[in-house]
Amino acid sequence: MGTAPASRDVTSYGMGLAAPLALFFLFFFVAPLLQLLWLSLHNDTAALHWGLGQYLHFLTDPFSLSVLGSTLLLGAEVTAVCLVLGFPIAWLYQRVGPRLQTIIILIVLLPLLTSVVVRTFAWIVILGRQGIINATLQSLGIIDTPLKLLYTQFGVVIALAQVQMPLMTLPLITALGRIDPNLDDASCSLGAGSWRTFVRIVLPLSLPGVIAGCTLTYAAAITAFITQSLIGGGQMLFMPMYLYQQASTLQNWPFASAISIIFLLAVLVVVSVFTTLGRLSRGYGGA
Amino acid sequence: MIMNRRSLMTTALTLGAMKAFPGLSYAQARPLVFATFTGSWEEAHKAVLVPAFRKANADAAMVLDPMLSVDQIAKVNAAKANPPIDVMLHDPGPALVAIGQDLVEPYPVEKSAYYKDLISEAQEPMGPAPFFQVVGLTYNPEAIKTPPTSWADLWKPEFKGRVGITNLNSTLGTGWLVEIAKMRGGSEANVDPAFKAIEELKPNLAAVAANPGALATLFQQGQIDISPGNFNAIQILKARGVPVEFVAPKEGAIAFKTTIHIVKNSSNRELAFKLIEASLTPEVQTTLMNPPYLIVPTNSKVTMGGEIARVLAKDTTELKQKFVFQDWKKINEQRSAWIERFNREIKI
């Protein structure tokens, strides 16, 4: 290639290819985000007076902080449920024949093929007073009066866990697939029990998948406006609904913007904790 | 009135784009744009109002651009000099916001052929009310054999765990709170009695829905048997076979004016006026009063019929007696404080 400039590095082509998407993000993500930030730095709803009043209002108000806290907690609960339920499925996937693998992947992906609204309404039917759970328990004589499942924290966690499950299972399947099955056998033949093998071999090696799954599930669960409001109802307030209330009903855009920015930062902190754990786990997995 | 993340995002993006590229909204001749509400409103307007307008105005071009009140206000605000919407439709709360932000023109009352026929509550000089929304008691007749007659019935011990309400995000929720306050000696300026009353209602509360639409689902699922409800929404549910009935409580059914406005600086001012005129005609209002729409008319020349005459009012005189109108100017002053208080205090 005598005509090509000698200094040209083959890796530099990558940037050019990323340009369309980068430009798209610049116009349709970064620009609106900056505008959001600009709006949040105003003390009045007409956005005429600069100031940090909206942030002060949020950060000094115990109620607002409790909404933020309960939203972050909700995310943690959903992520934990997804991890505990999703890991065995992903593990199973790597150990069954191709036909069963197809069935498992279909079951995992199925929720993604229906709209979130439909899935959420299905949960209303399941959790309702005359829903499937209550009707079954009552006909078995286990309970006399219907349990209150809808419009409870428990209901929201269960519904969100099902709705977001694929986001956890898919990265786990990929991560577990990369582990050499011989390592299991080696561990066993060297005298480790199956629990020890799992804790010392499988879990550390699958950590990158666990971290990726947790990050995705967490981010999706705390921002899931539809499921939160339909299953949680009007008296359980999470950040997306709080934001909507301020922006839509009260027309208080600067405060709504400040809520968004604070929420965004809180999520970024959580995600970066996950990423740091991921980086540490790479060291651990390699050891 | 579910607003999802996507539509919120769209608004934000539109606002951003309008700021970044003012050229996007530069002047050009375009058809009349009427921002109606989504859902059954859009259906009704597409089927009745638009054909009536086009017939009366030599097939003038117009488009419906259904969106929430908040989106209408945001869009017009982003391009005040050359608004992308010519006619706006609002609930009482947002209407006052739009007027307060100087986004609408006074209605040319002296030119209007129908304005004077509207019942006095619908005659709003900044934009008349072509329709009323009516809120009363909704109940499941299969579970509740004796129809309720008063808002106070919600507190009856026999409805323990069977009552649904909505939070204050909606016009319905806020209007209901004010009505309860009035029943207990409060007013638009003082809703303390209503908050106390809701405190007492807690044993009966099965659900505090996030929006009136969610109440409908709760009726279908047997989660609740009685709640405040919107007359139109109940008729839609009834038509789909859900066992629900509507009654106007003896304290009076809450009536909200849905007002229609010419947007300030509209490039289609004349056609906008014509569209609003069409919405005020007895013909359009009569068609919209009949099934499947069942929208309460405001023109006193309309003869009440069907379900509306049976359940609400036989004529304008009875309508005025049975309907309660609220002072939304006063309500708007404190609404954000009430929403905050509701957020904090109402936990079941």
Contacts B73 to A, Cβ<8 Å: 251
Give the C-alpha separation, B306 to B290, whole Å: 7
- Which residue of chain B has the CA closest to A32? B16
Classify B14 as helix, strand or coil.
Answer: helix
Is residue B199's pLDDT more than 70?
Answer: yes
Residue-averaged pLDDT of chain B: 88
Classify B149 as helix, strand or coil.
Answer: coil
In the predicted model, what is the mean pLDDT of residues A25-31? 93
How far are the Cα atoms of A14, A34, A85 from residue A10, in angstroms, in the given order?
Answer: 8, 34, 44
Which one of B16, B169, B208 has the shortest CB-CB distance to A31? B16
Which of A58-62, B217-221, B275-279 bottoms out in mean pLDDT, i.e. has the lowest? Answer: B217-221
Give the C-alpha separation, B244 to B219, whole Å: 8
Residue-averaged pLDDT of chain A: 87
- Quick one: how far is CA A248 from the chain centroid? 25
Contacts B7 to A, Cβ<8 Å: none
Work out the angle at residue B137's Cα, subtended by the Cα atoms of residues B135 and B142, and round it to the nearest 5 degrees: 140
Contacts B346 to A, Cβ<8 Å: 235
Closest Cα in chain A, distance from residue B83 (Å): 18
Contacts A32 to B, Cβ<8 Å: 12-13, 15-16
Q: Are B142 and B244 in contact (CB under 8 A)?
A: no
Closest Cα in chain B, distance from residue A232 (Å): 8
Count of CB contacts below 8 A, A vs B? Answer: 102
pLDDT band at B217 (very low <50, low <70, confident <90, very high): confident
Closest Cα in chain A, distance from residue B44 (Å): 24
Verify whether the Cβ–Cβ distance A124 to B217 is below 8 Å. Answer: yes
Provide the pLDDT for residue B124: 94
Give the C-alpha separation, A191 to A198, whole Å: 13
Provide the pLDDT for residue A180: 87
Which of A76-85, B192-201, B336-345 bottoms out in mean pLDDT, i.e. has the lowest? Answer: B336-345
pLDDT band at A12 (very low <50, low <70, confident <90, very high): low
Reported as a single tens digit per residue, the pLDDT across B91-129 is 998 999 999 999 999 999 999 999 999 999 999 999 999
pLDDT band at A240 (very low <50, low <70, confident <90, very high): very high
ipTM of the complex: 0.74
Interface test with A, best of B13, B19, B221, B340 (most A CBs within 10 A): B221
B14 close to A (CB below 8 A): no
In the predicted model, what is the mean pLDDT of residues B81-85? 93
Interface of A with B (CB under 8 A): 27-28, 31-32, 35-36, 63, 121, 124-125, 128-131, 150-151, 223, 225-226, 229-230, 232-235, 237, 240-242, 244-245, 247-252
Amino acid identity of residue B124, one-letter, is: E
pLDDT band at A252 (very low <50, low <70, confident <90, very high): confident
Verify whether the Cβ–Cβ distance B169 to A223 is below 8 Å. Answer: no
Amino acid identity of residue B5, one-letter, is: R
Provide the pLDDT for residue B35: 94
Interface test with B, best of A250, A255, A263 (most B CBs within 10 A): A250
Is residue A39's pLDDT more than 50?
Answer: yes
Q: Are B327 and B308 in contact (CB under 8 A)?
A: no
How far are the Cα atoms of A45, A48, A252, B100, B101 from residue A42, in angstroms, in the given order?
Answer: 8, 7, 11, 20, 18
Closest Cα in chain A, distance from residue B57 (Å): 35
Provide the pLDDT for residue A1: 43
Q: Are B8 and A247 in contact (CB under 8 A)?
A: yes
pLDDT band at A247 (very low <50, low <70, confident <90, very high): confident
Closest Cα in chain A, distance from residue B336 (Å): 6
Domain boundaries, chain A: 52-286
Which one of B168, B222, B343 has the shortest CB-CB distance to A130? B222
Classify B62 as helix, strand or coil.
Answer: strand
Is residue A9's pLDDT more than 90?
Answer: no
* CB interface of B with A, residues 189-228, below 8 Å: 206-211, 214, 217, 221-223
- Which residue of chain A has the CA closest to B208? A234
Verify whether the Cβ–Cβ distance A32 to B2 is below 8 Å. Answer: no
Greater confidence, B38 or B203? B203
Is residue B226's pLDDT more than 50?
Answer: yes
Closest Cα in chain B, distance from residue A248 (Å): 6
Which residues are paired to B134 by β-bridges? B255
pLDDT band at B10 (very low <50, low <70, confident <90, very high): low
Which one of A150, A223, A245 has the shortest CB-CB distance to B339? A245
Provide the pLDDT for residue B5: 56
Verify whether the Cβ–Cβ distance B166 to A234 is below 8 Å. Answer: yes
Label residue B155 exposed, middle or buried (CB < 10 Å: 0-12, 13-18, 19+).
middle
Which one of B20, B68, B344 has the shortest CB-CB distance to A63? B344
Is residue B275's pLDDT more than 60?
Answer: yes
Which of A181-195, A248-262, B139-153 bottoms out in mean pLDDT, i.e. has the lowest? Answer: A181-195
Is residue A76's pLDDT more than 80?
Answer: yes
- Quick one: how far is CA B195 from the chain centroid? 23
Reported as a single tens digit per residue, the pLDDT across A261-272 is 999 999 999 889
Is residue A140's pLDDT more than 50?
Answer: yes
Provide the pLDDT for residue B177: 96
pLDDT band at A10 (very low <50, low <70, confident <90, very high): low
Count Cβ atoms below 10 Å from residue B76 Cβ, excluding itself: 24
In the predicted model, what is the mean pLDDT of residues B162-189? 93
Greater confidence, A286 or B254? B254
Give the C-alpha separation, A43 to A157, whole Å: 36
Q: With pLDDT > 90 as the criterion, what percentage of chain A qualifies?
A: 52
Answer yes or no: CATH 1.10.3720.10 is held by domain A52-286.
yes
pLDDT band at B178 (very low <50, low <70, confident <90, very high): very high
Which one of B4, B16, B169 has the shortest CB-CB distance to A249? B169
pLDDT band at A283 (very low <50, low <70, confident <90, very high): low
Is residue A285's pLDDT more than 50?
Answer: no
Classify B245 as helix, strand or coil.
Answer: strand
Is residue B209's pLDDT more than 50?
Answer: yes
* Residue in A216, A223, A215 with CA at minimum distance from that of residue A242: A223
Complete domains list, chain B, with CATH: 5-131+257-302 (3.40.190.10), 133-254+328-345 (3.40.190.10)
Verify whether the Cβ–Cβ distance B221 to A128 is below 8 Å. Answer: yes
Contacts B70 to A, Cβ<8 Å: 247-249, 251
End-to-end CA distance of chain A: 42
Verify whether the Cβ–Cβ distance A150 to B209 is below 8 Å. Answer: no
Provide the pLDDT for residue A286: 45
Give the C-alpha separation, B315 to B32, whole Å: 34
